[in-house]
Structure 1
């Protein structure tokens, strides 16, 4: 029944996004790109997918310029879809931009802390996460000022509720701010797709719940691993975990108590995918060192982060096997974004 009236308002957009998805790179495209010897060779391979967006580039452009153009195409397509979206779909697409806003906030205040050039920082911000007061972030000196002078007029304002303090913006506090915003954002997004009358009980809620639960679990695991050896207390660490996901509540409780990598491994054993990730990364038989955990490869040459990445792409591709769902827009954005970085280009 969920598809009975779906096409009235959303059929055109679903068709457009499925068409965009067909423009993503195939295995053959990636094989061809591995044979490229110069940046012009790579530009030539990207031509069919990115067309006019690369036409203004000079011969032998920098990789950053090439990456910026691939991002421009994503942004252009996203804005076209958003301009044609109505009702709940329009709000759904707004939620997709909030994650980029959070990343931009973290980038700007971290760069300011390290006395980076403001113009350079603004150029590095993702266009989908732009908001008018963003340049003012570069003069904020503490968390309360950051909220009162900048974020109170943005969609991120509700995510600061109950998490304000007078602390200065040092490295640790910036990460706490970033992860607090993400926690509240993911919880809000999860509630939105599961309670909105147009989405509750539909394929959109089903697919997006899987996507957001995976993201919540991944963040909880990464926060725990990255907290070892830092000043972040277990109590503060627990506050950063989203209150949903396949690990919630027993797994996240165990994560909050973990003292080492073995504790993390035990916490995720109840979810077969995560358990297999740890085993494949060489972490299934006992405590392991941080180098193996963070970026080291397991017996098959993949790190834990590689396996999380692969799982995210599998979920995103699987979304396109469903009909009458907003989730394909989220999946398309993730697949398009990852395809821009998978062929050796830096993220813009």
Structure 2
């Protein structure tokens, strides 16, 4: 029944997003990109998709400039969609920006802790997560100041107030703040999608957000080994939903090493396969015959889920999936550009396939 009236308010947006999705780089495009010898060659190959943002960029090009301009195009398209969205779709897209806000908060207070230049930090913030009081973050010295002077007027305020006590802002506490905010945000977004929305959107977002919750739980566990974070505190950072919840997350909370993580994910086939095939623990793609990193395996699974979303009709989830696909495309372009710039052509094919 929800599909009967869906197009009245949301048909234009869904049509636009499906058009945006069809303009993503194809396998043939990637094949051409990997044959480029210089960044100017890369710019030429990217012209059909990114000519509007790269056309007036002077040489010599840099990887950061290409990544920045590609992101600029994504931001422009997202903002156009948001400006035309109404009702639950508008709220849905607002929810999508909260994660970027959390990352920006963590970036600014971490940079301030290391005495980085405020202007440089603000330039590095993700545009979708910008809010008016962000510059004030740089003067907060504890979590109480952070809340009262900055976050109380933002959508993050409920996530912050309900979870965090007053403490000094050191590197460990900042990471705890980021993960605690993200936990509350994911739980709220999941609750809203599954209770306020109906039909395909609720079903698809249950799958997408459960994957994100599980990914965060596994990564938090692996990254906590060898740190001062206690098992009790680590357990508090896991979202209270997902395919691993509650048995898998309970076991993750008790894990002492990677074998403990392997045992915790045993009951979920897609994650079990990551550990069965082995993976590199590095943050990026690994060349040669070595296995992909766990991060790459998660990105690969995210792309599979995102592609499936477009087989459904009448759903807000196409916007979420399109952003994930577009962000991976930008990561792929950046990887290829960096390989060209550093003359690492033997590693240039180690991007995450979208199609």
> Same fold judged by TM-score > 0.5?
yes
Q: 1:50 to 1:299 in 2, by over 3 A?
A: closer
Distance 1:152 1:26 in 2: 44
Q: Scaled by the length of structure 2, what TM-score is found?
A: 0.91
Moved more, 62-71 or 73-82: 62-71
Cα shift at 1:110: 0.8
CA contact (8 A) 2:103 2:178 kept: yes
- Unpaired runs of 5+ residues, structure 1, are 283-291
Secondary structure in structure 2 of the residue aligned to 1:248: coil
Task: State the SS of the aligned residue for 1:4.
Answer: helix
Partner of 1:156: 156
Partner of 2:235: 238
Contact 2:248/2:265 (8 A) holds in 1: yes
Correspondence for 1:315: 305
Q: CA RMSD in A?
A: 1.7
State the 1:2 CA deviation. Answer: 2.4
How far apart, CA to CA, are the structure 2 residues paired with 1:299 and 1:324?
42
Partners of 1:269 and 1:299 in 2: how far apart?
A: 26
Relative distance call for 1:4 and 1:300 in structure 2 (3 A) is: farther
Aligned residues: 335
The 8 Å contact of residues 247 and 271 in structure 1, kept in 2 or not, is answered as yes
Query: What secondary structure is seen at the aligned counterpart in 1 of 2:3?
Result: coil
Query: Which residue of 2 is the match for residue 328 of structure 1?
Result: 318
2:67–2:334 contact (8 Å) kept in structure 1: no
Distance 2:295 2:177 in 1: 23
- How far apart are residue 164 of structure 1 and its match? 2.4
Q: Which runs of 5+ in 2 are unaligned?
A: 339-355
Instruction: State the distance in 2 between where 1:151 and 1:315 align.
Output: 33
1:122/1:309 CA distance change after superposition, 3 Å: same
Q: State the TM-score, normalized to the length of structure 1.
A: 0.93
Match of 2:43, SS state, is helix
Determine if contact 2:147/2:161 at 8 Å carries over to the other structure: no
CA distance in 2: counterparts of 1:318 and 1:266, whole angstroms: 29
The alpha-carbon deviation at position 342 of structure 1 amounts to 0.6
> Which residue of the partner structure matches residue 79 of structure 1?
79
| Matching residue of 2:120 | 120
- Give 1:28's aligned residue: 28
- 1:64: how far off? 1.4
Cα 1:271/1:2, change in 2 over 3 Å: same
